[in-house]
Amino acid sequence: MGFAEDVRLLPQRTMRTVLMSLSRRRSLARIAIRSPLTRPVVARFVAGETLAEALPAVSALQRAGLHSTVDVLGESVTSAADASAAVDRYLATLAALHGRGLDANVSVKLTHMGLDIGPDLCRDNVLRIVQAVRDVDGFMRIDMEDHARTDATLEIWRAAHEAYSGVGVVIQAALRRSSKDVDSIIASGGRVRLCKGAYDEPASVAYRTRRAVDANYARLMERLLLADVQPAIATHDPRLISRAIAIAEGNGIDRDRFEFQMLYGVRRDLQRALIDRGYAVRIYVPYGREWYPYFMRRLAERPANVAFMIRAIVKEEGRRMRGH
């Protein structure tokens, strides 16, 4: 039995921890990005490495009746120049989306904007994008990263939301603090994308079982729906989707007062079924060369393709070591 098969047989929690650890390995990122063997799997989750490659994917979604939010991939930048370059890519993306009549809707990670360098730098970069979003009457969502950055993320979101109401934020149901955060955001009139959470967090701050996370997700989802703050229900879980629909129907909540969100390339059948029933569905469309950390988190959530991915990386590394 090979290494890839050994990894595939690991318990789910152990596999998730391993994959999250691998997502931070820059050496593996370089190998994976160079390898043509990984492309077929990566292409399922990432719309391309360039804006020119991503735009046709967004257009295709629109033709299919789906909305989109575009993520220019990248995170944890270590220089102000890299953060500024990331802002420029977002500005170009917004201009291209607006110019083609596509959803001028983007999602931004704050470590991509320089949060780890300094909160002031990050806030200034975010506000540059906010101005561009406002100019095209678009929408921007600030993604949530690991729990250590939650307070800083919410603080910068508040500054951005004060500058332009069309700025939302993500809340992770896995975090124990999220109930209070949701109440605070509702009171501010903010718009939440509710997700389960893609980070491997310690038990001191997060629920560690699927049942506990799902239960908290359901509680927060109901609160957001009843608050009438245009929530985005971000899940591929049919049970939670059915629960959201039941809450909406039971309380007379119109279908234009919330939306479902799903990841690019995941559960296309479910996306289509919801569209056919008249619900709004928005697809999170990532693009960029810095796809490796994002992709590894997707594998941690859905490990069906882990064995293939590891075989590809190991094979490429073997070739490199042999000097080929």
- The SS3 assignment for 68 reads strand
Place of tokens 């990894």: 7
138 class by beta-carbon count within 10 Å (0-12 exposed, 13-18 middle, 19+ buried): buried
Calculate the alpha carbon distances from 248 to 183, 221, 245, 256 in Å: 19, 11, 5, 11
Q: What angle do CA 210, 212, 213 make, to 5 degrees?
A: 65
Q: Which two tokens stand for residue 127?
A: 């506000």
Pinpoint the alpha helices (H) of 36-136.
39-45, 51-63, 80-99, 119-135
Using alpha carbons, select from 35, 10, 41, 53 the residue that is nearest to residue 296.
41
Distance CA 35, CA 309 (A): 10
222 class by beta-carbon count within 10 Å (0-12 exposed, 13-18 middle, 19+ buried): middle
User: Are residues 90 and 129 in contact, defined by beta-carbon separation less than 8 angstroms?
Assistant: yes
| Chain center to CA of 305 | 19
Using alpha carbons, select from 34, 119, 103, 53 the residue that is nearest to residue 288.
53
Q: Which two tokens stand for residue 294?
A: 């994002």
Active-site residue set? 143, 193
Q: What is the largest CA-CA distance in the chain?
A: 65
Backbone phi, psi, residue 128, to 5°: -60, -45
- Sign of the dihedral defined by the CA atoms of residues 93, 98, 103, 108, in that order: positive
